[in-house]
Chain A
């Protein structure tokens, strides 16, 4: 999600202006009609009756159908914040005593329903505006986990398993802990030492402000941009989950899943690779029924803090090795939390 037009809408606006790598309308038309014809041919030829295709298709589609409206909801809230809420409100945290800034900023994430892509530009702005860097990082890492939309979707996803309250509280608590520990460990440097000068982001922000007139239109543009940007990552994640559930025999999965440490590490690796939006990842996590709830918790806590798309965003926002530092702090805390959760659940 974007705050201030720094990411998805910015991305698309940036792409609008790119002089090369453009797609012909004819090609889009050919792809569209080829798809329609392929659907008709495949449907009449009985291909959907194939167990592998049918199983993959149903699982894949169900994850996307279930999660997409939540992505839209998150995009709407993010767009509201981006268009109607001044980030000066967040900068008030910078006036608090330093000892309070880190926990206060991390807890402030509860009130800001943005997922991980939106929290990065907010964190950058906070630090650039003089907030104690540890607090900026704490907010950036906590907001995608502890905000009400993410906790709400976690509740909905785990309600049927009878552990909605436990998983929601554990996710919120462990997410907060990871954010505070990472903020404390990484954010003791100055803002200048942490932040990368990002001319591109500054230009995109300005471009976005210039490109759109009314606030309502800016809201609609943010909403659509965020939704389409995050939706493609959801599709990728759903495809990976469906592939595993369709093709990997239970015996192999069980071999990893039976070991709590290996299971948690495997799902954390998957969370990194899948790059799911935190507003939808609970629906994917709950589908890994072979893995323990603790391992699923590790998936839910690490993914919003560090994944492949975040690594790219971190690289564009912070100086070198920031993503590695986050990994070195967040992964052990998430793993310990997962093992503890397995012991109590």
Chain B
């Protein structure tokens, strides 16, 4: 975890300096009417930079590399697959629509994670997509994204 702390601290430091500098460059720090829009962002940037430096010092001084925190092998693969399928679902939402998208997403993920029988997978996918539609579209009148392309 020590390496992760070092990297996060360094990234946060750069971000904080850019945040504070950006505030001063683009917005007004203050004038006769009191503190302006740049006032708090600037000081938050300064505070974050200090905190990041403290963490960097702490991580550099700590000789203990700490235990591994990232999953490996199968665990990592699961996390990445779940994340990837979710990202794909969101990216395709505009094109396939919420209802079809939901059913496909659930079918893929339930099948991958559980290897349930196909009819169990199908029932969950169709059932949940339908229930989701019923609650949010039919009941709460929320406009879901509709399919932008029709295959047939």
A and B co-occur in one complex: no
